[in-house]
Structure 1
Amino acid sequence: MNFHRNHWLLLGTIFFGFIGLAFIIAILPAQWMQSNTAPLPQAKPLSDLEQRGLEVYIAEGCVACHTQQVRPLPMDSPWGRPAAAADYALLGPMDIWRPYSPAVLGSARTGPDLSNVGARQSSETWQYLHLYNPRSVVKDSIMPAYPWLFEPATGVEGDAPVMTVPEAYAPKGGKVVPTPQGQALVAYLLALRQIPIEGAGSMAKASTTKNSQAGGSTKSGPGDDASAKGATLYANNCASCHQANGQGLPGTFPPLAGNAVVLAEDPSEHIDTILHGAQGRTIDGTEYASPMPGFADQLDDDQVAAIINHERTSWGNDAPTVTAEDVAGRREAGGK
């Protein structure tokens, strides 16, 4: 039989061969993995609001630029620990019409990976401003704005949070409120928090690994470039809110340049703020309602000290520096 001359036989072999290989190589292993992979012990299913946020995330095409799969590579270490199959065990079908889990892993890394964005950037206010106009909080961002997820503030907004937008990007009136879709999307983004896996390393440990592989060290000591380390840690953890120049965002995130807490002789309040966060403080006559997250679980004592020393010696600040031992003492005291 001239197999190569029988077009129908050749086409049928190719077609059914492809279907068979797809089942063997992709579909059956995926079904087995989904059926036999248990979620991590501390994992919780998405709430109704977060589930709606996932639908908005998919509808707005966020997966086109953002992944949710941290690779075991040094370049991915700032985004969290390497992803594991158990991270996706609770990601089920959207509804009866969409019987497969949504494709949120992504492949394009135009923007940062979002697997741990809820822990990495836990400020609800920052997330809203970033959606309204990314340039309002990240000057060089190339992410498109999503103003249709917001409405002008009218004075009576119910439970919707009112966002004061920086003047350069503000609409008429200067304030906006997120729509239900915007609130759901931010709730979903804040729910994206990796659960630590023993042996896999935390976000802070991952950063330590990257630094070590680059030939550096996260421990201060003779010969270390402590200033560069503090600047890097500040850029990765603080600059998105307080800005690279330490000026913050007026009325939203306080400045660190000339800040009385940063310049204080006694660094206790400065250390406590970074370890445990803060909310509702009045600085230089301006009230800042946006909560600042604490970094006690993400950063070790030496890293916190490096950030504090960077803040105390940058942008014209000239205050006494601290040591990792100072941070350890405040951490043990548990003060806020």
Structure 2
Amino acid sequence: MKLDERHLIQLAAVVQAGSVTEGAALLGLSQPAVSRTLAMLERRLGEPLFLKGHRPLQPTPLGRALAEHGQTMRAASRKASETLVNFRRGEAGVVRIGGTPFFMDALISGMAADFQTLCPDVRIDQSYGYLADLRAALESDRIDLAVCPIDLLDEGSGLTFQELLPGRNVIACAATHPLLAKPDPKALDLLDFPWIAPPPDSPLHADLHAILLSLGVSGIKIRYSGGSLASVLTYMTRTDALTILPHGAVFAFHRDRGISALPFRIPHPDRALGLLRLTGAPNAPAVDTFSRHIRKEFETLRHQIKRHEQALVPGS
């Protein structure tokens, strides 16, 4: 025998409240309507649902068992309604975000953690890639957002770009590096130490050569190459090696990971870190909410990094 789920939900409300009137009020229904439902359900079952002569109402064993099923259905219905409301508010759902490894590890992962303290029902799926891979992932609907540095976005690309941070690089080192104790380090001093080369497909790889050229330095000793941000930081803090990192990454880890930056004025890349989205992408409230959170966090971070840069290299 198939029972109507709505009837079981009404039965559960009456059992919970102890009266038809109060049970109907819990569901926003009229008392006569609920009374008719219970009477019809008893006729169909051929069994009583409540013990006669008891106030408040006392369910029979069958009535209690069916009410438990109805309560489960009622809770599921309420949860589904809450999920819908939270989804429309952008407080539930899935956000698929990809980005360049150093920025994702240094900045975005922490921002995602902070976001989920506010919106714990939003799941965040993170992946890595550089511009070409991220663009392909956006166009094939494998990610919703991309965080990457861009110098120029072609007109008619089908993508929208919102700047988060201007391009800023620094020569990074361990906080205990000998050059930090030197009153006026010179460019030639950079030749006395080994270097960590960024991954070959990273924009930082080209930046390294541009920076060295601007300082009149060549022939550096590459000791380590191609690692993740975590591996680069670990290696750097245990050696006197130098490398090129985005200032945002150094700022994010300069306290707890024991890294710093040398006070050299270097050319900054002609690009900016930003959020990429597919133009005309379907409405996704959780993605919009997370995007706003990221932009707000970076607005604060931008000013903090600028102050840190001015303290590091006066006049910058």
TM-score norm. by structure 1 comes to: 0.23
From the two aligned structures, give the one with the greater helix fraction.
2
Bigger Rg, which one: 2
- Structure number with greater CO (CA < 8 Å, separation at least 6) is 2
